[in-house]
Structure 1
Amino acid sequence: MTTAEAPAWLQITVTTPRAALAEAVFEEHGADAVTVLDAGDDLVAEEAPHAQPDFDAARVVGLFTHGTPAEPILAVLRDVLGDDVSAATETLANQDWAGAWLSQHPPLRFGERLWIAPHSAPVDADEDAVVVRLDPGLAFGTGTHATTALCLEWLARTDLAGRRVLDYGCGSGILAIAAARLGAASVTAVDIDDQAVRATRDNAARNGVADAVATPPMDAIEHGPFDIVLANILAQPLIDLAPTLHALTAPGGDLLLSGLLTRQREAVSAAYIATGFTLAGDAHRDDWVRLDARRPAG
Structure 2
Amino acid sequence: MVSIKDIARKAGVSISTVSYALNGNPKVTPETSARILAIAKEMNYIPNAAARQLKKQESRIIGAFLTDFTGAFYGDLLQGMKEVLNRKGYDLIVCSGLQSHRLLPERMIDGAIILDSTFSDEELLDYADRGHRLVVLDRELSHPAVNQVLLDNKAGANLAMDYLIETGHRRLYVVSGPSDSFDSRQRMSAVRQTLSRHPELDAVVLEGDFNQGSGEAAGRLILEQWQGPAGVFCLNDEMAIGLFNAVAASDSGIRVGEELSIVGFDNIALTRYIQPRLATIEYSKYRWGAMASEQLLRMIAGEEVEHERIYVSLVESESVQDRR
After TM superposition, the score normalised by the length of structure 1 is: 0.38
After TM superposition, the score normalised by the length of structure 2 is: 0.35
Larger radius of gyration: 2
Q: Which has the higher contact order (CA 8 A, sep 6+)?
A: 2
Higher helix share: 2
